[in-house]
Structure 1
Amino acid sequence: MKRRLTVLGVALLAAAASILIAMQPAEAAVGLHISGTNIVEANGRTFTMRGVNHPHVWFTSQTSSFANIKALGANTVRVVLGSGKRWGPSTDVPNVISLCKQNRLICVLEVHDTTGYGEDGAAATLDEAVNYWISQKNNLVGQENYVVINIGNEPIGNNNASQWTAATTAAIQKMRTNGFQHLLMVDGPNWGQDWQYVMRDNAQTVLNADSQRNTVLSIHMYDVFNTASSITSYLNTFRTNGWPLVIGEFGWRATSSNVDDQTILAEANARGLGYIGWSWAGNNDPILDMTNNFNASQLTTWGQRIFNGTNGIKATAKEASIYSGATTPPTTTPPTTRPPTTPPTTNPPTTPPTTTPPGGRGCTATYTITNQWQDGFQADLKVTAGGAAINGWAVTWTFANGQQVSQSWNATITSSGSSVTARNVSYNGSLGAGGSTTFGFLGSWSGTNSTPSVTCTAS
């Protein structure tokens, strides 16, 4: 009986302490931070991650991947780093951050060495991961607008997953004690999938451990989440309790037993949740590669689904406002086009020019400048079949102001002087009657960036 009373007394004291912690005012956050369940920027604008995991520590020479990921529409890249326990150490953090900023991406940096601790004997502890971040502190302080620190990837395996709560709480507190003010991201146990619900059931304890109330929880969704009900049930708990969450990794339904990626995309979009797909390339299991050999013009089935799907990156991503120079939250719904860093001398047209719609076999094309900055711009083109199916298409236009194409996706683009021709690639040439597809490119301009007239020819 005495033992029971003692346990009860400890439980009551712990509950009271939890309430007191929750009532304490959070320190003012800088840069990216949590507001309710949302990630917001320093100016108060909500930022929803739409991104890609890039295995940088194993492919450090693939620095062009940052530009390619951005070109396909992403606003976030989660960069794999090593602490030196298993991989690395990654000593190129300044260059990684610079690549993110050059390409107008929010940078989620993660230590991968912690993967599966407790089950994988070679894995690092979360405390060791924090020591790595402390070693990189000089490279990270001042980057709070651009960088999220994901303390450790999938930090606990399936053995003794309950240790996650204490280890994660201690890691967060050690980060804050050492002066980090960044938005922190913490992954769940069970190799990130939290199938024993340790993160779900202890989320409030972990969030309360952050003196700045600036931590977002991250779930990794693979084969444990192979049904729509398993996905929605898990996400509903976080929504009901008002806990901030992102889907920090997920794959795709290559077979019926795999993760239901379409439900993840749809639910994330409907709920305003961020998601970061795994991964750009380089997997031992190539089914998870979004590109073939890091080639952005060779998207795999998974790459097509996440970039070009209905709820995919291209359709739903909005660039962080830190790159547009915005200083206050919008009073109305933000525009679908992202404002440039430096105002252009000409603005994109309200109604883009189109070719005359064909009555039968043929196609139309629409050219839209979707983003523009000093000396550079992004354009998207939509190709639509006429009244009959087509087997291929070619879109031509002539630049009037010396613009040049530097990089393209979903089309093969060739130039001869100011004349440009874009032809379909293998997977988007055949369109049914009235069907459409899109492609785009990055280009350079100087002085004026007028919108050209375009012509579409079907085959």
Structure 2
Amino acid sequence: MKRRLATIAAVLVTLTASVLTFVTPAYAATGLHVSGRNIVEANGSTFIMRGINHMHTWYAGQTGSFADMKAAGANTVRVVLSGGRWTANTAADVTNVINLCKANRLICVLENHDTTGYGEDSAAYSLDQAVDYWVGLKSVLTGQENHVVINIGNEPIGNTNAGQWTAATVAAIQKMRSNGFEHLLMVDGPNWGQDWQYTMRDNAQTVLDADPLDNTVLSIHMYAVFNTAASIRNYLDVFQNNNWPLVIGEFGWQFASGEVDDQTLMAEAQARGIGYLGWSWAGNTDPILDMTDGFDATSLTTWGERIVNGPNGLKATSREATIFGGVQPSSPTPSSPTPLSPSPSPSTSTGACTADYTITGQWQGGFQGDVKITVGSAAIRNWTVTWTYADGQTVSNAWGATVTSSGATVTARNAAWNGALAAGASTNFGFLGSWTGANGVPTVTCAAG
């Protein structure tokens, strides 16, 4: 792939009479902007997005969802809009969306969904057309730089000729700036957002340099391509090592078993100070991506529990923007996880591996667990972990292993990608379960082949 380095004029620093005089920063000083690889507010406070995607363009009547997403711990909502591929969202509607965000103390990421899959989906709009939509809304967007991020176009290139993304994105950024927009801009990667051909990764500097205000953040969408811890870490490492601003603009749980290592994703985002925005609150044709049942905030799905109440989820890590006062999340409701000190299980071993069972989060009637498998002095090809519950607990979902139950006995076998382990190596799998009355930690046995 080509990697073209573009140059822009450097900020002039002049020394006059031994006094350093700096050129005024190029970014919109009154709004959200990029500083290094971070997003910061006008007052210089770092802002890390912890939020939820909301399919407003198809569910415009679900205005109560903004308050519900805030109550779930979000500090940001990414709002799906359309300029005409679907029913167009008018200036009046967008104004109402912005007001809903502000009323609920949420930073508002507005995205144009018309561009999804351009080059592969014949119905998709170009990024240039997306910019025209934003230009048509300029009167209601100007002055909202403290509260609004403009995501120029959702997943703007499909898998066909992904290389066109660089020039199209550069042109879109420059057209936004030439039309007077000073907002923080967000740009999605190609390959339906997943950048599996690494076009965005390999041309990131070119795109960032194209913005005369130095106020663009890149956005990766992590789904099936990012189904292992290594794939997530390797991608994020490149951006961190190059000091490039990045957010995880979309990610989900699973379309099928073994897809999307959401637990690693959220943990890595938290450790690196990267924003994330989960897809989505409700309304998907595949309901496994819904966080709620039918927009009912009192009925979280498995995915909803993981992102709202998980150990690196919204309630544990979200911090409100200082423009709203910087209020921390409210005290957990009864359905929120109880903070727990790690409670590892007693473990037994065949000599080839050991396993440690830990409850990582617990709420009324439910809990999340983690099992760490550690190899002994010789490499193994596969592993099987078993335990028996004494208190009537059950396992409902698992990731990183195939888990089956027979009465109170639970058996977990490695996934295809984490069975072969070197001497001394370790791996983890996680699960969600239910409990009533007690949730004692069982003794776990590990066997290897």
**Which position in structure 2 is the counterpart of 1:33?**
33
**Which position in structure 1 is the counterpart of 2:48?**
48
**Residue 380 (structure 1) shift:** 4.6
Indicate conservation of the 8 Å contact 1:21/1:208, yes or no: no
Change (3 A) 1:47 1:126: same
Indicate conservation of the 8 Å contact 2:194/2:225, yes or no: yes
* Map 1:346-361 → 2, pairs under 5 A: none
**Which position in structure 1 is the counterpart of 2:71?**
71
Cα distance between partner residues in 1 of 2:150 and 2:206 = 20
**Residue 225 (structure 1) shift:** 0.6
Indicate conservation of the 8 Å contact 2:309/2:315, yes or no: yes
Change (3 A) 1:429 1:97: farther
Cα distance between partner residues in 1 of 2:223 and 2:78 = 17
Q: Which amino acid aligns with 1:61?
A: G
Give the SS at the match of 2:225.
helix
**Residue 89 (structure 1) shift:** 3.7
**Which position in structure 2 is the counterpart of 1:291?**
292
The reply to whether residue 192 of structure 1 matches residue 193 of structure 2 is yes
Change (3 A) 1:251 1:129: same
Deviations 1:44-74 (A, max 9, x none): 0000000000000000000000000001110
**Structure 1: gaps spanning 5 or more residues:** 1-10, 327-336, 339-369, 372-377, 394-426, 436-459
Range with greater deviation from structure 2 (21-30 or 170-179): 21-30
Give the SS at the match of 1:264.
helix
Cα distance between partner residues in 1 of 2:266 and 2:216 = 23
Q: Which amino acid aligns with 1:296?
A: A
* Map 1:315-354 → 2, pairs under 5 A: 315-324=316-325, 338=328
**Residue 97 (structure 1) shift:** 0.2
* Map 1:97-176 → 2, pairs under 5 A: 97-176=98-177
Q: Which amino acid aligns with 1:149?
A: I
Change (3 A) 1:239 1:384: closer
Indicate conservation of the 8 Å contact 1:86/1:113, yes or no: yes
Cα distance between partner residues in 2 of 1:23 and 1:165 = 24
**Which position in structure 2 is the counterpart of 1:432?**
438
Range with greater deviation from structure 2 (275-284 or 20-29): 20-29
- TM-score of the aligned structures, taking structure 1 as reference length: 0.69
**Which position in structure 1 is the counterpart of 2:227?**
226
Indicate conservation of the 8 Å contact 1:188/1:194, yes or no: yes
**Residue 85 (structure 1) shift:** 3.1
Change (3 A) 1:300 1:433: closer
Deviations 1:350-392 (A, max 9, x none): xxxxxxxxxxxxxxxxxxxx65xxxxxx67568699xxxx997
**Which position in structure 1 is the counterpart of 2:401?**
none
Indicate conservation of the 8 Å contact 2:7/2:209, yes or no: no
**Residue 84 (structure 1) shift:** 1.0
Cα distance between partner residues in 2 of 1:66 and 1:59 = 12
Cα distance between partner residues in 2 of 1:384 and 1:20 = 49
- TM-score of the aligned structures, taking structure 2 as reference length: 0.71
Cα distance between partner residues in 2 of 1:392 and 1:124 = 46
Change (3 A) 1:62 1:392: closer
Identity %: 64
Indicate conservation of the 8 Å contact 1:79/1:110, yes or no: yes
Change (3 A) 1:97 1:434: farther
Q: Which amino acid aligns with 1:430?
A: T
Change (3 A) 1:379 1:262: closer
**Residue 432 (structure 1) shift:** 3.0
Indicate conservation of the 8 Å contact 1:391/1:429, yes or no: no
Give the SS at the match of 1:124.
coil
List, as ranges, runs of 4+ consecutive aligned residues in structure 1 with deviation greater than 2 Å: 18-26, 253-257, 378-385, 390-393, 427-435
**Residue 88 (structure 1) shift:** 1.7
Indicate conservation of the 8 Å contact 2:27/2:182, yes or no: no
Cα distance between partner residues in 1 of 2:233 and 2:203 = 19
Cα distance between partner residues in 2 of 1:431 and 1:154 = 46
Cα distance between partner residues in 1 of 2:207 and 2:245 = 12
**Structure 2: gaps spanning 5 or more residues:** 13-22, 341-361, 366-432, 442-449
Cα distance between partner residues in 1 of 2:195 and 2:41 = 28
Change (3 A) 1:44 1:293: same
**Residue 430 (structure 1) shift:** 2.6
**Which position in structure 1 is the counterpart of 2:59?**
59
Cα distance between partner residues in 1 of 2:333 and 2:364 = 18
Indicate conservation of the 8 Å contact 2:254/2:289, yes or no: no
**Residue 256 (structure 1) shift:** 3.6
Indicate conservation of the 8 Å contact 2:151/2:187, yes or no: yes
* Map 1:247-326 → 2, pairs under 5 A: 247-253=248-254, 255-324=256-325
* Map 1:371-410 → 2, pairs under 5 A: 380=333
Change (3 A) 1:391 1:265: closer
**Residue 433 (structure 1) shift:** 5.3
**Which position in structure 2 is the counterpart of 1:374?**
none
Change (3 A) 1:36 1:299: same
Give the SS at the match of 1:298.
strand
Cα distance between partner residues in 2 of 1:62 and 1:47 = 27
Change (3 A) 1:206 1:383: closer
Change (3 A) 1:323 1:226: same
Indicate conservation of the 8 Å contact 1:86/1:123, yes or no: no
Deviations 1:166-202 (A, max 9, x none): 0000000010111100000000000000000000000
**Which position in structure 2 is the counterpart of 1:341?**
none
